Every structure is written in structure tokens, then in C-alpha cells.
């Protein structure tokens, strides 16, 4: 989830951050008695303003104000994050899961209630994002970003602008189609095509969705998450379903890319800041949450990750470049007609999904294909790592 600012935007943002910093009550973050402690933050990849291309480095700024060391690591999907927490292999103080995963974490007693007396900036969260299905009593979550899934396509590689998820089943694009490498998002696409409820507990629905995905599998180039950036930006595929905010990032690096919300419907999501039960520094975690809600910090993150902001102050800012963006804030009411949120499902259904997903990924996959796919993935990851390292070096030497 990467935002690459142009030089102009970088300069403007740095200036705005410098000006707006005066509005933050910095004393609230100093002399807290927490200096010298460590905060372990576990977040999606490329999902925070990190200083790249002149943007504000949110974690560094927090460290400077508080004296708290931020140990920041990433995950690729809600399922990866859940697995890491469930295994007990690591302890985190902050995580940023999506709505349906939050429901599961609460059900399994894996989140701590937030003491909102330590998060006064919670008042800046839009009321429409409070009391939602995943946290009806507003006890465990603070909304961080809001978005929807759509279809990204390369206008030079696709004959006609698609309007349906069916484009991902078009044989003319065999070997040029990417899809999600996580079960809920991948299954949802076939579920929307089949007119299903994405939260169905009927086994027949999930088997029907599996059959649809098996039909598609021979056409797929790769199952992806954050590696979608590298592939789509370099014209490596004709189309890929992904999150709307990330499309804006990709388009900055490849103007041939376009985006559509398919007519059958799509998934909407709310990602929230939460405190896992493994937390070792809860007061620092709540201080960090409050810091993320500071208007200038929330603005920096919104500009970087390119998702809709639940922070009311951000939407009021003239300098917020996305406030009128119709991909992030669609004005066409038809876009919302068939939108569904993922909800946590009964354990039997979750186990079924896991089994069906494993069946899909394994069936018909030869060892040769596995080695080739793994090789391509490694090359893409190494290439992207080198690119980022070179870019960081340029920034440091600027």
C-alpha cells in the first residue's frame, strides 16, 4: 500500500505539516513517563506515512515527541496477522485489522478494551463509523481507514473498459489476470458474480463459489497481495482486483491503469486501530492511537495510503487532495447498491473456507508451476526491495 508523491506534492505536504504542527498540543506527548519504553506496532504493508518522497514520518515524529521506541512490522493480510497472533510467536501492542477480523478477535478474546479517557481525539471520528457491526459498543476499535474493492485494468492491454467481474474469466486474457491471495477477497468476487451473500453459511454457496474459482484458475497469472503494485505498475498483467486507494498509487506510476467498481457489487471495509491481548505497553498504545488521530497526522496518513478518512477534520482541510476524488468518495449512488461488508463467520464455515481455499490453490498445480511461481515471486520481491532501497538512499542523500 504505497503512495509515491510527486516532488511538488512532497514540498507542499512538508510545508503544511510544518504549519499545522503548531495546532497539535505537543505537551500531551511529553513527560508521560513512557520515554525509553517500546511500542510494537503490527500493520499492513505500506499503510502509514513513512517519510518516503518527503512525506511526514509518522512513527519517527511520535518517537521524537514521546521518547517511545516504535518497533514497526508488517503483514500482508488479515489472515496472516491472525495466524501470527494466534500462534503466540510474537507480542504486539497495536494492530490494524479489518472489520470482520475484528469480530473474530473479539469473539476469541484476543483484543483489549480501549480506555477512551486516554484517547480524547476519538471525538474526531465521524459518527457514521461508530457503533458498526464489528464493535457495536465502541469498546475495542478506532477507525483508521475506509475503502472498497474494485477492478484495476491496463487500458493498453484490455480491449474494452470492463463493467463486470466477468472480465476476470475472459479467456483472451489468459496468463494476464491477477487475483487476491487471500480467501475472503478471492471468494467474494465469484460470490458477487453468483449473486450470493458474501457472509453465507450455506455450504452449497461456498462450493459453488469454489467451482467458479476453479473455472478461472487456468487463466490466472498469479495470486497476489502487495506484489500487485510491482506487477501492475510494470505492465505485467492486464487486470487485478484490489483496493481503491492502492489503485491511485499504482496509477501515479503507470498512467495506463484505470479502475471500475463492477456492476455486480463489491466489498467495503473499515480498518481499525486495536490493542491485542498480547499488549505489554497499553498506555503507550493508547497514546499512539490518540496521536494517529491528530488532524495533521491523520492527513499525512490519508494522503499516503489514499483511502477514505474517518477523521472529520481531515475532510474539512483544503489541502486534502482526495476530498473530491470520486474513486475514494464515489458520488454515483449506484456504486453503493450492492456493497457488502465481510462479517465474521461461524467456525464451521471458516474451516470450510480454509479447506476449499487449500483445495483451490493445490489442485492442478504441478511442481514445475510451483517452482516457476516461487521463482517469479522471489525475483519480483527482490527487485522491489532493491528499488525501495535505492529510492531511500536517494532521499537520504538529497
- Specify whether the CB–CB gap between 93 and 275 falls below 8 A: yes
pLDDT for position 383: 56
DSSP state letters, 301-331: HHHHH-SBP-BHHHHH-TT-TTTT-TTTS--
Residue 272 has pLDDT above 90, yes or no: yes
Residue 184 has pLDDT above 50, yes or no: yes
For each of the domains in the chain, give its residue range(s) and CATH number, in order of start: 7-146+271-316 (3.40.190.10), 147-268+344-397 (3.40.190.10)
d(CA 9, CA 206): 45
pLDDT for position 320: 95
Residue 384 has pLDDT above 60, yes or no: no
Nearest to 20 by CA among 323, 303, 289: 303
pLDDT for position 87: 93
Quick one: average pLDDT of 171-194?
Answer: 97
pLDDT for position 363: 82
Q: Which residues, in sequence order, are CB contacts of 162 under 8 Å at separation 6+?
A: 151, 153, 239, 260, 262
pLDDT digits (tens, 9 = 90+) for 16-66: 443 443 378 999 999 999 999 999 999 999 899 999 988 999 999 999 999
For β-strands 142-154 and 339-341, DSSP reports them as: unpaired
Coil, strand, or helix at residue 226? coil
Q: pTM for the full model?
A: 0.82
Quick one: average pLDDT of 280-286?
Answer: 98
Please give the angle made by the CA atoms of 290, 33 and 18, to the nearest 5 degrees: 45
Which band of pLDDT confidence, cut at 50, 70 and 90, is reported for residue 334? confident
Q: Which residue has the higher pLDDT, 13 or 224?
A: 224
Amino acid at each position: 500500500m504505497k503512495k509515491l508523491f510527486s516532488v511538488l506534492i512532497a514540498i507542499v505536504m512538508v510545508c503544511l505539516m510544518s504549519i499545522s504542527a503548531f495546532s497539535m498540543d505537543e505537551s500531551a506527548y511529553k513527560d508521560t513517563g513512557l520515554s525509553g519504553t517500546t511500542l510494537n506496532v503490527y500493520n499492513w504493508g505500506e499503510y502509514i506515512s513513512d517519510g518516503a518522497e518527503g512525506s511526514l514520518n509518522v512513527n519517527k515524529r511520535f518517537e521524537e515527541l514521546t521518547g517511545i521506541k516504535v518497533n514497526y512490522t508488517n503483514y500482508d493480510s488479515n489472515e496472516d496477522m491472525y495466524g501470527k497472533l494466534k500462534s503466540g510467536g510474537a507480542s504486539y501492542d497495536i494492530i490494524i485489522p479489518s472489520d470482520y477480523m475484528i469480530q473474530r478477535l473479539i469473539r476469541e478474546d484476543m483484543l483489549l478494551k480501549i480506555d477512551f479517557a486516554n484517547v480524547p481525539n476519538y471525538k474526531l471520528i465521524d459518527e457514521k463509523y461508530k457503533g458498526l457491526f464489528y464493535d457495536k459498543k465502541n469498546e475495542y476499535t478506532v477507525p483508521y481507514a475506509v475503502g472498497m474493492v474494485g477492478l484495476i485494468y491496463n487500458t493498453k492491454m484490455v480491449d474494452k473498459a470492463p463493467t463486470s467481474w466477468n472480465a476476470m474469466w475472459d479467456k483472451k486474457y489468459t496468463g494476464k489476470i491477477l487475483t487476491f491471495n487471500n480467501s475472503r477477497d478471492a471468494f467474494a468476487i465469484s460470490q458477487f458474480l453468483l449473486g450470493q451473500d458474501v457472509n453465507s453459511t450455506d455450504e452449497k454457496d461456498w462450493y459453488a463459489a469454489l467451482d467458479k474459482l476453479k473455472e478461472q484458475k487456468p487463466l490466472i497469472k498469479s495470486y497476489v497481495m502487495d506484489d500487485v503494485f510491482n506487477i501492475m505498475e510494470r505492465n505485467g498483467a492486464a487486470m487485478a482486483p484490489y483496493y481503491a486507494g492502492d489503485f491511485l498509487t499504482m496509477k501515479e506510476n503507470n498512467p495506463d491503469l484505470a479502475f471500475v467498481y463492477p456492476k455486480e457489487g463489491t466489498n467495503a471495509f473499515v480498518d481499525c486501530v486495536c490493542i491485542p491481548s498480547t499488549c505489554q505497553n497499553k498506555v503507550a498504545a493508547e497514546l499512539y492511537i490518540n496521536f494517529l488521530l491528530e488532524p495533521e497526522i491523520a492527513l499525512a496518513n490519508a494522503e499516503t495510503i489514499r483511502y477514505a478518512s474517518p477523521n472529520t477534520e481531515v475532510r474539512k482541510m483544503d489541502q486534502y487532495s482526495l476530498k473530491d476524488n470520486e474513486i475514494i468518495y464515489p458520488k454515483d449512488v449506484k456504486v453503493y447498491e450492492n456493497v457488502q461488508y465481510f462479517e465474521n463467520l461461524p467456525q464451521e464455515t471458516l474451516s470450510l473456507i480454509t479447506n476449499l481455499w487449500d483445495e483451490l490453490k493445490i489442485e492442478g498445480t504441478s511442481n514445475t508451476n510451483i517452482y516457476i511461481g516461487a521463482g517469479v515471486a522471489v525475483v519480483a520481491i527482490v527487485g522491489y526491495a532493491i528499488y525501495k532501497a535505492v529510492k531511500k538512499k536517494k532521499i537520504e542523500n538529497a
